[in-house]
Amino acid sequence: MKELAGRLTALDPDAGAAVRVIAYFDTLAESRAGLEALVRGAAVLAGCPARLVDVERRVHVRVEPDGRRQDSDGPPAPDWPSAALVPDGVPALWLERAGAAEPSVVDAVILERAAGALRVVLDRTRGRAPLSPADDPALVETVLDATAAEGARLHAARRLGLDPDDPTSRARAVAPLGGRPRVLRVRREGRPADGGSRGRRGGRPAEGTSLGRRDGRPDDGTAGDRRDGRADDGTAGDRRDGWSGDGASRDRRDGWSGDGASPHRRGGRPGQGASRDRWDGRAAEAELPRGRVGVGPAVPVLGLPGSWDGARIALRFTAEGSARDPGEPVVYADDLGGIALLAELIAPGAEPPPDVRDLERAAADSPWMLATLHAVASTASLRAAATGINVHHSTLQDRLTHAEALLGWPVRTPQGRLRLHLALTMRHLARG
C-beta of 96: minimal distance to another protein in Å? 16
Residue 281 near another protein by CB under 8 A: no
Q: What is the DSSP string of 267-332?
A: T----HHHHHHHTTTTTTT--PPSSSEEEPPPB-GGGHHHHHHHHHHHHHT----SSSS-S-SEEE
Least Cβ distance, residue 87 to another protein (angstroms): 25
14 binds another protein (CB under 8 A): no
91, containing H or E segment = strand 91-95
Q: Is 347 left (phi over 0), alpha (psi -120 to 50) or beta?
A: beta
DSSP line for 342-389 = HHHHS-TTSPPPHHHHHHHHHHHH-TTHHHHHHHHHHSSSHHHHHHHT
Interface with another protein by CB under 8 A: which range of 16-24, 260-268, 294-302, 422-430?
16-24
Measured in residues, the chain has a length of 432
Decide if residue 302 touches another protein (CB under 8 A). no
Pick one of 14, 15, 66, 280: the residue that binds another protein (CB under 8 A): 66
Let me know: does 90 contact 53? Beta carbons within 8 Å.
no
* Shortest CB 129 distance to another protein, Å: 19
Amino acid at 302: L
Residue 37 binds another protein, judged by CB under 8 A: yes
Is there binding between residue 42 and another protein (CB under 8 A)?
Answer: no
Q: Please provide the DSSP assignment of 49-61 as one string.
A: -EEEEETTTTEEE
Q: Which residue lies nearer to another protein by CB, 69 or 126?
A: 69
Write out the binding residues for another protein, residues 111-150 only, by CB under 8 A.
none
* Residue 27 vs 413, nearer CB to another protein: 27
Q: What number of other Cβ atoms are within 10 A of residue 217's Cβ?
A: 17
Q: Does 36 bind another protein (CB under 8 A)?
A: yes
User: Angle, nearest 10°, between helix axes 14-30 and 2-11?
Assistant: 140
CB of 83 to another protein, least distance (A): 19
In angstroms, rounded to a whole number, what is the distance separating the alpha carbons of residues 310 and 244?
19
Of 7-15, 139-147, 177-185, 260-268: span binding another protein (CB under 8 A)? 7-15
CB 249 within 8 A of CB 330: yes
Does 13 bind another protein (CB under 8 A)? Our answer is: no
Using CA atoms, how far apart are residues 380 and 376, in angstroms rounded to an integer?
Answer: 8
Q: According to CB under 8 A, which one of 55, 60, 67, 281 is a site residue for another protein?
A: 67
Min CB(4)–another protein separation in Å: 7
Q: At what angle do helices 414-430 and 369-378 cross, to 10 degrees?
A: 120
**Could you say which of 39, 44, 331, 396 contacts another protein (CB under 8 A)?**
44
Compute how many residues bind another protein; rule: CB under 8 A: 28
Nearer to another protein, 27 or 210 (CB): 27
Interface with another protein (CB under 8 A): 1-4, 7-8, 11, 20, 23-25, 27-28, 30-34, 36-37, 40-41, 43-44, 65-68
